[in-house]
Structure 1
Amino acid sequence: MTALAIRNLSHGFGARRALTDVNLSVQPGSFAVLLGPNGAGKTTLISLATGLYSAQQGDIHIFGHSIRRNPLPALASLGVVFQMPTLDLDLTVDQNMTYHGALHGLSRREARERAFEELERFGVNDRQDDKVRSLSGGLRRRVEIARALLRRPKLLIVDEATAGLDVAGRQLLLTHVRSLCRRGLSVLWATHMLGEVEPSDQLIILHQGNVRWEGEACDFAPDGALEAAFLKITGRSA
């Protein structure tokens, strides 16, 4: 069953069309990169796929469940990291995690056990008692992804999670999330950074609200010249 299926999706804000007849799929266990320049429509698409907005046209299915017609089981399979940070800066890491767990019906004990497990994977379990505002930007992003995984989703949607991070922090996040795909997690990773794409990734290029390419990254740029191919398909010059 397809992890995420978007069919004939269109959405606008007043007279401005943000997305036009978008079709794409994310397969189970795949790391799918939603690549596009700023303003391409990535955040609008993610807002629709996570239920923040209701689509004006088209439908979105998560593991076979329509967000429009059957939202509860659709969204129950989903973990999300939004572009804007959503951690409470004045709470500790542990408090942020357990509060999120409580919102999703986890007991305090179960939430803390899962929190320790996820934070340990990211190397931040020793900061559980620290307030979030004392953490660096990179550590906060690790905590946000760990929090999104707390409910053990089958699909993780991430919007520009590495913005503002240094190279080492960006690579750590990408390496860890890709390793989760090998354990069965499906990921839609939205970014405008070409350096975050690997040849084995599923690649979806969004530009001006339209899907310009969908397939394996190695097929999009078989000679390895990803930047040149991307500039060509989006009508930009080097």
Structure 2
Amino acid sequence: MIGVQHVWTGGPGNEVAALDVAGVSHSYGSKRALNNVSFSIAPATFTVLLGLNGAGKTTLFSLISHLYDTRHGSIRIFGHDIRRASGEALRCVGIVFQARTLDLDLSVYQNLSYHASLHGIGGREARQRIATLLETVDMRGREHDKARSLSGGQMRRIEIARALLHRPSLLLLDEATVGLDIQSRAGILATIRRLVDTEGIGVLWATHLIDEVEDGDHAVVLRQGNLVASGTVSDLIQASGTGSIRDAFSKLNRSGTAGIAEISP
């Protein structure tokens, strides 16, 4: 295996990692889906969780979001252990799953206000946040439309707005652009990157689409449940001896599973 491992150890003031995954493994019966995966990401950064279908991305998201219990290893979100302090950890996180989760018979506003009430946000505050977020995701004026009338890309924008309602510090998106046209994909990705730059939100963006990765990103690469690289895109390219992230990713998925070379942050 080729690759780099960039372990974030804190910035000014020694802030805790936005997400710290340490020695995490998970199996479905006799099938190992994740094997001793460890990486950390800093606050206010865009990190790509990159892997082919079946690499373990969705399993990892299910563990981070506490849909599955973490039995082997630990996951901390801004210092909160997802298993021992799930409430505190999940209050820091907004999640957009790969499968559509809007209630199609409700309006956009009803979908969002219901989610706001689950987080204890009511009345005037909920209305203000919904109006602001619809502007943020370029869906202003659609609050009274039924969810079923929206396109796939528009539904995804509403799901992103919903995930941001409780003002999380970390946003998880699992294959958020799957099934969308090129223009919709680009628009959603631009919106998320803008949130990192303007709001200081940390993002973990799971994808198998290499064209969604930019040179300035951090990248975590999974292959058949194993971590094969973690670090900046430029470090990954250099360590792989290739000229692009596309070629580096291709090489990583042809390589074996030997040790990871470490590069200091």
TM-score scaled by length of structure 2: 0.87
Match of 1:125 among 140, 157, 160: 140
Corresponding residue for residue 184 of structure 1: 200
Question: 2:38 & 2:122 partners in 1: Cα distance?
Answer: 39
Gaps (5+ residues) in structure 2?
A: 1-15, 256-265
Corresponding residue for residue 202 of structure 1: 218
Corresponding residue for residue 168 of structure 1: 183
Alpha carbons 1:34, 1:42 under 8 Å: kept: yes
Question: 1:200 & 1:108 partners in 2: Cα distance?
Answer: 40
Note the 1:53-72 alignment, pairs <5 A.
53-72=68-87
Question: 2:124 & 2:145 partners in 1: Cα distance?
Answer: 19
Q: SS of the residue aligned with 1:96?
A: helix
Question: 1:122 & 1:197 partners in 2: Cα distance?
Answer: 21
Alpha-carbon offset, residue 224 of structure 1: 4.4
Question: 1:153 & 1:180 partners in 2: Cα distance?
Answer: 12
Corresponding residue for residue 126 of structure 2: 111
The higher relative CO (CA closer than 8 Å, separation ≥ 6) is in 2
Corresponding residue for residue 229 of structure 1: 248
Alpha-carbon offset, residue 16 of structure 1: 0.3
Question: 1:161 & 1:109 partners in 2: Cα distance?
Answer: 30
Alpha carbons 1:80, 1:148 under 8 Å: kept: yes
Which of structure 1's runs of 4+ aligned residues deviate more than 6 A? none
1:141 equivalent in alignment to 2:160: no
Alpha-carbon offset, residue 103 of structure 1: 0.5
Amino acid at match of 1:116: A
Q: SS of the residue aligned with 1:24?
A: strand
Q: SS of the residue aligned with 1:220?
A: helix
Amino acid at match of 2:247: A
Corresponding residue for residue 20 of structure 1: 35
Alpha carbons 1:218, 1:224 under 8 Å: kept: no
Alpha-carbon offset, residue 116 of structure 1: 1.0
Alpha-carbon offset, residue 221 of structure 1: 2.1
Amino acid at match of 1:104: H
Q: SS of the residue aligned with 1:90?
A: coil
Count of matched residue positions in the alignment of Structure 1 and Structure 2: 236
Alpha-carbon offset, residue 109 of structure 1: 2.2
Alpha-carbon offset, residue 173 of structure 1: 1.0
Q: SS of the residue aligned with 1:189?
A: strand
Corresponding residue for residue 235 of structure 2: 219
1:4 equivalent in alignment to 2:30: no
Q: SS of the residue aligned with 1:118?
A: helix
Match of 1:87 among 94, 102, 120: 102
Corresponding residue for residue 45 of structure 1: 60
Amino acid at match of 1:136: S
Question: 1:186 & 1:174 partners in 2: Cα distance?
Answer: 14
Question: 1:140 & 1:118 partners in 2: Cα distance?
Answer: 14
Match of 2:112 among 81, 91, 97: 97
